[in-house]
Structure 1
Amino acid sequence: IERFRSLISKGINSLFIVIPSTNTPSGTNEQTSDICDLETILLGESISIPVYFLPETQQMNDLYKSIESRRDSTKDSALAVLYDMITADGYQLSVTTGKYGQRTDSVLYNIVGKLIGHGIEERLPKILIVAHYDALGIANGLIQGADSNASGVLILLKLIRLFSKLYAKQTTRAKYNLHFLFAPGGKLNYQG
């Protein structure tokens, strides 16, 4: 995170973040945690440069090694820079993008259910049990999927099953209405 802030303050033009592959030993838990922390910063702050997320591939690793070895062996003389410009022995990035902006067409769906307690439904207190079922990432490779809250969803499903057995009989119903909510937008303050 500090390195990210340092690079931004030095005036870089863009940032490439390589997302470690889960199939390689380079994708450690510490790296995953660092990327999640960076993702939180990127979601919460205004960044004035483009940030690109790239999946780790052999081709990407080869390119990185090539750039690193070139950087280590490059002379800092103006003649070397001029020679590189003339021979085009370097790297240049060209990106063509469409329009971008805030998405306004996203639809979030709540999934709700309830069990009515013993008594007059409208007068009974309500208990709301909630779990979020979605995952959010600023890049597809950062979405944690089931790691996001699968356990919360599973527990809520189990609670629904257990309480529905209790509420099936008049004699075992509590004097509460139970409402169950699977909410989207968990990472967006449950805006669903």
Structure 2
Amino acid sequence: MTSRHHNLQHLKNQAYQDPLTGLPNRRSLGDYLQTALDRLHRHAGQAVVMFCDLNRFKEMNDTYGHTVGDRLLVAITKRLQAALRPDDVLVRFAGDEFVVVLEQCGSRQQALAMAHRLKKQVGSTLHVDTAVLQPRISIGIAMTSDPLTAAADLLHQADLAMYRAKRQKGDSVEIYDPVLDD
């Protein structure tokens, strides 16, 4: 019975955890977003989603190889985690994309401060094998104080803002604006 329970737990972890970084994966993101939104029923503040994309990752991966690319992703994961508060959630969404869920954020200024902290944490020179890398991220932010906001909508808004940040110059931060829906 113990072996069976262990095997089931292992399968569950594989389904909801990224094997490279050990982070929760895209499949588990909806639960984290919903928890953040549900908490708004009980506490004032904002639920914040940050969609983070590593700039020029494909170029680095093609130049230095997939092993260096994987090590870069693991290093970026550690840097992002180091910048977050204990209750914040970091998810590997796909490839070189990460999502941060801040359950309790008091203001737009706090969200921006956290985004700039993440950028700074990621942006210092990184030595991976023989490669010397200057990683940069683009961050899109969406936030709400309405607990009835759909989790998928909040994620989509952060994604739109992230693509705007990439178009600006990369390595920038954008907050979602409904104009982006057009």
TM-score (norm 2): 0.24
Greater helix fraction, Structure 1 or Structure 2? 2
| Bigger Rg over Cα | 1
Q: TM-score, normalised by structure 1?
A: 0.23
Give the structure, 1 or 2, with the largest relative contact order (CA under 8 Å, sep 6 or more).
2
Bigger proportion of residues as strand: 2
